[in-house]
A and B are shown apart, each in its own frame.
Chain A
Amino acid sequence: MSFPGYNDSVLSLLIFGPLLAAALAMFLRSDNLLRGWTLVSTSALAVFSLPLYWRFDPSTADFQFEVNLPWIPVLKIHYALGIDGISLLLVLLTTLIMPLCVLASWRYINTRVKEFMICLLIMESAMVGVFCALDFILFFVFWEAMLIPMALLIGIWGGPRKVYAALKFFIYTMAGSVFLLVAIIALFIKVGSFSIPEIMGHSQSFSLNFQRWIFLAFFISFAIKVPMFPFHTWLPAAHVEAPTAGSVLLASILLKMGTYGFLRFSLPMTPDATLFFTPYILWLSVAAILYGGLTALAQTDLKKLVAYSSVAHMGFATLGIFALNKAGLEGAVLVMINHGITTGALFIVVGIIYERLHTRELAQTAGMGKHMPVFATFAGVFALSSLAFPGTNSFIGEFLVLAGGFEVSRSLMIFVVPGVVLAAAYMLRMLQKIAYGGTANPDHSRVPDLGLREIVTLAPLLVFVFWIGLHPEPFTRVMHASVQNVIQQTQGRAAPAAPAVAVLP
């Protein structure tokens, strides 16, 4: 795909394309037509986003595919977009997972298909926008704009406690982001610009005290989104009640925004405060890993199990980020991508079970594998991937995070190891039940195996599980420079010898 102007227009098209598709969807009447249209448009956007990868220059940490137009000149707000090696992968993850979400809700969503598809499309534009925005207000607009369609997805098409879950999700996230807004304005008053790269460049001039407050404001907002251990309570509720596509979006994309926020804002903009708070956050991450693992082990609802496993996985991501070294950060980005793939897939798997049995109780699903061999294969691979089995994607990510963590503190890592074992315990327990069960399995002989649509939904994720697991180089290649840059921005000032490096062009 090589048409002129691709580099200038691609990000804008990825943001406004879904909105355009949503506007057109308003005029479609038949449900199947709507499903088809959404599938075609999200797939087209996915294909359209692929050349980003080849055109991306991995040798530099600069933002690429940049757009910078004045939006509200009176307030110095710009329409500024651009991606680096970290956001590139997340943008691609977003565009690629969207068609799968549409496929996963093909049969699951029967009521008000039009509104559902419109919500999905609006979500896509807001999510891509969050990862591309280089203006703080633009970022915040996308960040908040996501709340409404997501709350609607949970609240209208969700399970029995959908209203509770939707409100909880909304209020939690909103409560976090009010502080984010104050921090953004405070930074603007200090620097005189909402431009993210410009604020990063000014971080040297911020006093430690100022940085600490900004860091804390950022932290509340991003920690709720991740969610980190004491802020996680909205997550199980939202995941359990959301429809399959909603859960997938939540797990694969929305949770990443918290960690993306840490990487993009906390580390480069408040480097001294980051170093100051790092020990506490590392311990919180370890707590999340252990807590998530133990709670997941106790769940009998499949969705809750996967939801709590998310808490643990995201604990690995924050652990890697705040290890503040190359292995840790690259591992964290990989964990983010892997979690998007594997947990997204697991939610689709649970959705498939729910469509057939209308329950998510572990006991009711026992022994499904006997009658559904194809399904059991998929579920098995994704479960193994989730527990970071060597050869699958999560292994690479978690291994790098652990390696990074060991560089920082061995005593800390001793506490992480049980978390890894716990992951094996809860995932294998789930897999054992679903695939084999016991002697008194419910009768599943009439349950049909996966159809073509479902195989098509899961297959791409399966490919990525092994691709990243066996040959991660294409994925890590693009992020080296950007990760190095983040480390330099954060650590550059900590070591007295480093400033010389920091000023190198």
Chain B
Amino acid sequence: MLCDSMTPFKLMAFLPELVILAGALVLFVISLGHEQGGRARLAAFVTALATLAASLACLGQEATLFDGAYRVDLFSQLLKLAFAGGFALILLVSGGLPDIRNDVKPEYYLLLTISVSGLMMLVSSVDLITLVVALEVSAFPLYLMVPMRRERNGQRVQMESAIKYIMFGVAANGVMFFGMSYLFGLTGTTVLPEMLTRLEPVSGSPLAIAGLALTFCGLYYKLAVFPFHFWTPDVYEGASNETASLVASLPKIGAVAVLVRFVSLAAPDNRTVVLLLTLLAIGSMFYGNLIALMQKDFKRLLGFSGIAHAGYALVGFVALDQAGFAAALYYIIGYLLMVLACFVVICKVSRDGVNVAIEDLAGLHRRAPLLAVTLAVGVFALAGIPPFVGFMGKLTLLSAALAKGHLALVIITMINAAIAVYYYLCVVREAWFRDPGALPPIRLDWPARAACLLLITGILALGVAPARVLQSLSTSVAKAQLGAPGTVLADTNPGEGSAPQPVGSALAP
């Protein structure tokens, strides 16, 4: 069925990646000059918008490229759209990069663009080799961006964070490669759909389970799941506010996306994997939430709350079905918006790029009402209060998990949600219930205003009218997950693959 007439379509299928890579090339040329920060910012923003447009245009594409190593389907295209949107939002949030050295600003934009391009390729990779390459393309620029923060008197914490980030990253990758070698040894292939069919007869064997569990480790590290979280608070604190907003958001979507592809390798009733995921979810939620209660630095607080949210996302995976995966994706995409809403506040409240303590938010409602509203929306959404996306996300996650009978996990999740409310409220308390004292008002430029309004709209819209997004996500997951070789392009009926579970059938159209 792959004839010559497919060629132009293939180009279309690869268009978003091509656009962002072209943008990266342009940025590379710009970075050769001196002090080109402004021009690089413009170029990066144009790249982001162009990528967004290309992703929108290629939403319906389906293709298998590069000898089956690269798969373009609704799943990957939806996530590419999310990445492109997140890329544009992060550029809006970052503003003029006040805390990055002037001479490396173009390089910063270049690395940012390359990292996002890596993520975009990641979600299409269905071959272990491609997947690893894409993962590293997305990760290595981040290792460089963390220490790009300006040095000021005594502030060298960025170096420490960068070392921590790269050491933990490399260690986690090593473990992941080790796991992958087991999987390869068991199946003799690196192509995921093929691996799926060959792994099925032996999926209960200790070797397969060890292989899967170890492979997940690299993704847990990205997602900051307990006990792979150690880098999170330190990197958030040490990296500049703008870099932290990137580290906190996009790679997590990538990790969840790859996890969706991988977890389907575990047969739907793999008890050991379920138990493992359950324990990690519970550990992450309790660890993140309890330690976040004690935080004074807003970025560290978000770091620990991020660990807890990674735990919530795993609750969806515990269900090991289409509804659960779709819920986890929906949640993590919502998390992108929620956490960026908090980071836009951090970036704007921070004076001269220093870290923001929770007390620095005092009286925000008088100093910058729009920021205060953005913060409230973001934080209440993280706390899971309707009508924001955080609530709908938790609802879908819990429904999926409870449909599979994980009552204890669901109750623990809700207890955690209740614990988390306290520290989120402390943030709101500073911003809304305190007087500003001597703190100055904050002026917002138009990118910041645009980012605030976009994020508020997004968080509300995804929370109030999630029907279409949820529908497309569950359709796409159905396609992405059950990719037996040969049926990649053929299967067009999304309902076919759904398990006869109550919510599984509810999520199928």
Q: Mark A62-105, 1 if CB is under 8 A from B, else 0.
A: 00000000111111100000000000000000000000000000
Given contacts A141-B391, A175-B418, contact A185 B506 (CB under 8 A): no
Residue B9, interface by CB 8 Å? no
List chain B residues, Cβ under 8 A from A171.
418, 421-422, 425
Given contacts A155-B432, A189-B403, contact A76 B395 (CB under 8 A): no
A185 to B403, CA, bound (A): 9
List chain B residues, Cβ under 8 A from A155.
429, 432-433
| A139-195 with Cβ < 8 A to chain B | 140-141, 144-145, 147-148, 151-152, 155-156, 162-163, 166-167, 170-171, 174-175, 178-179, 181-182, 185-186, 188-189, 192
Residue A137, interface by CB 8 Å? yes
**CB pair A74 B422 closer than 8 Å:** no
A219 to B385, CA, bound (A): 20
**CB pair B425 A189 closer than 8 Å:** no
List chain B residues, Cβ under 8 A from A140.
386
Residue B502, interface by CB 8 Å? yes
**CB pair A147 B398 closer than 8 Å:** no
List chain A residues, Cβ under 8 A from B506.
74-76, 192
**CB pair B391 A144 closer than 8 Å:** yes
**CB pair A170 B395 closer than 8 Å:** no
**CB pair A166 B421 closer than 8 Å:** no
A314 to chain B, nearest CB (A): 24
**CB pair B471 A166 closer than 8 Å:** no
Residue B305, interface by CB 8 Å? no
Q: Which residue of B lies closest to A175 (CB)?
A: B418
Residue B129, interface by CB 8 Å? no
**CB pair B507 A74 closer than 8 Å:** yes
**CB pair B395 A137 closer than 8 Å:** yes
Residue B415, interface by CB 8 Å? yes
A106 to chain B, nearest CB (A): 23
Partner of B467, one of A72, A137, A151, A188: A72
A147 to B376, CA, bound (A): 13
Partner of A145, one of B386, B398, B407: B386
**CB pair A178 B470 closer than 8 Å:** no
Partner of A156, one of B403, B418, B432, B503: B432
Partner of B433, one of A74, A147, A166, A185: A166
Q: Which residue of B lies closest to A76 (CB)?
A: B506
A182 to B383, CA, bound (A): 16
Residue B410, interface by CB 8 Å? yes
| A445-504 with Cβ < 8 A to chain B | none
A381 to chain B, nearest CB (A): 37
**CB pair B421 A188 closer than 8 Å:** no
A145 to B396, CA, bound (A): 18
| A182-219 with Cβ < 8 A to chain B | 182, 185-186, 188-189, 192
A129 to chain B, nearest CB (A): 10
**CB pair B467 A144 closer than 8 Å:** no
Q: Which residue of A lies closest to B394 (CB)?
A: A181
Q: Which residue of A lies closest to B508 (CB)?
A: A74
A192 to B399, CA, bound (A): 11
**Which has the most chain B C-beta neighbours within 10 Å: A76, A166, A171, A189?**
A189
Indicate the size class of the contact surface on chain A: 35 or more
Q: Which residue of A lies closest to B399 (CB)?
A: A185
List chain A residues, Cβ under 8 A from B402.
182, 185-186, 189
**CB pair A174 B403 closer than 8 Å:** no
Chain A interface, DSSP helix/strand/loop, else mixed: helix
Q: Mark B384-405, 1 if CB is under 8 A from A, else 0.
A: 0111000110111011001100
List chain A residues, Cβ under 8 A from B418.
171, 174-175, 178
Q: Which residue of A lies closest to B383 (CB)?
A: A174
A189 to B400, CA, bound (A): 10
**CB pair B417 A178 closer than 8 Å:** yes
List chain A residues, Cβ under 8 A from B380.
148
B111 to chain A, nearest CB (A): 38
**CB pair B507 A144 closer than 8 Å:** no
Residue B411, interface by CB 8 Å? yes
Residue B249, interface by CB 8 Å? no
Given contacts A144-B391, A156-B433, A189-B503, contact A75 B414 (CB under 8 A): no
Residue B466, interface by CB 8 Å? yes
**CB pair A182 B385 closer than 8 Å:** no
List chain B residues, Cβ under 8 A from A167.
422, 425, 429
Partner of B470, one of A74, A148, A163: A74
**CB pair A162 B421 closer than 8 Å:** no
Residue B474, interface by CB 8 Å? yes
A444 to B314, CA, bound (A): 65
A174 to B417, CA, bound (A): 9
List chain B residues, Cβ under 8 A from A179.
414
List chain B residues, Cβ under 8 A from A166.
429, 433
A156 to B363, CA, bound (A): 11
A370 to B503, CA, bound (A): 68
List chain B residues, Cβ under 8 A from A174.
383, 385, 418, 421
| B101-147 with Cβ < 8 A to chain A | none
**CB pair B466 A72 closer than 8 Å:** yes
A75 to B330, CA, bound (A): 13
A140 to chain B, nearest CB (A): 7
List chain A residues, Cβ under 8 A from B391.
141, 144
Q: Mark B364-380, 1 if CB is under 8 A from A, else 0.
A: 01000000000010001
**CB pair A163 B399 closer than 8 Å:** no
Q: Mark B427-462, 1 if CB is under 8 A from A, else 0.
A: 001001110000000000000000000000000000
**CB pair A75 B376 closer than 8 Å:** no
A178 to B421, CA, bound (A): 11
List chain B residues, Cβ under 8 A from A162.
433
**CB pair B467 A74 closer than 8 Å:** yes
Q: Mark B461-487, 1 if CB is under 8 A from A, else 0.
A: 000011100110010000000000000
Given contacts A75-B399, A189-B503, contact A152 B467 (CB under 8 A): no
Q: Which residue of A lies closest to B420 (CB)?
A: A174
List chain A residues, Cβ under 8 A from B432.
152, 155-156
A449 to B418, CA, bound (A): 47
A174 to B433, CA, bound (A): 19
**CB pair B429 A75 closer than 8 Å:** no
List chain A residues, Cβ under 8 A from B395.
75, 137, 181, 185
Q: Mark B483-509, 1 if CB is under 8 A from A, else 0.
A: 000000000000000000011001101
| B25-39 with Cβ < 8 A to chain A | none
List chain B residues, Cβ under 8 A from A185.
395, 398-399, 402, 410
List chain A residues, Cβ under 8 A from B411.
182
**Which has the most chain B C-beta neighbours within 10 Å: A75, A141, A167, A171?**
A75
**CB pair B429 A148 closer than 8 Å:** no
List chain A residues, Cβ under 8 A from B385.
144-145, 147-148, 174
A74 to B467, CA, bound (A): 6
List chain A residues, Cβ under 8 A from B421.
170-171, 174-175
A76 to B467, CA, bound (A): 10
- 17 additional A-B residue pairs with CB within 8 Å, beyond A141-B387, A141-B391, A189-B403: A71-B467, A72-B465, A72-B470, A74-B470, A74-B471, A74-B507, A75-B399, A75-B470, A76-B506, A144-B385, A156-B432, A162-B433, A171-B425, A175-B421, A178-B417, A181-B394, A181-B414
The 10 closest A-B pairs by CB, nearest first: A141-B386, A178-B414, A155-B433, A74-B470, A72-B467, A163-B433, A175-B418, A144-B386, A178-B418, A174-B421
Query: CB within 8 Å of B: which residues of A?
Result: 70-76, 137, 140-141, 144-145, 147-148, 151-152, 155-156, 162-163, 166-167, 170-171, 174-175, 178-179, 181-182, 185-186, 188-189, 192
Mind listing 16 A-B residue pairs with CB under 8 Å? A71-B467, A144-B386, A148-B380, A166-B433, A167-B422, A170-B421, A171-B418, A174-B421, A175-B418, A178-B415, A179-B414, A181-B394, A185-B402, A189-B403, A189-B502, A192-B502
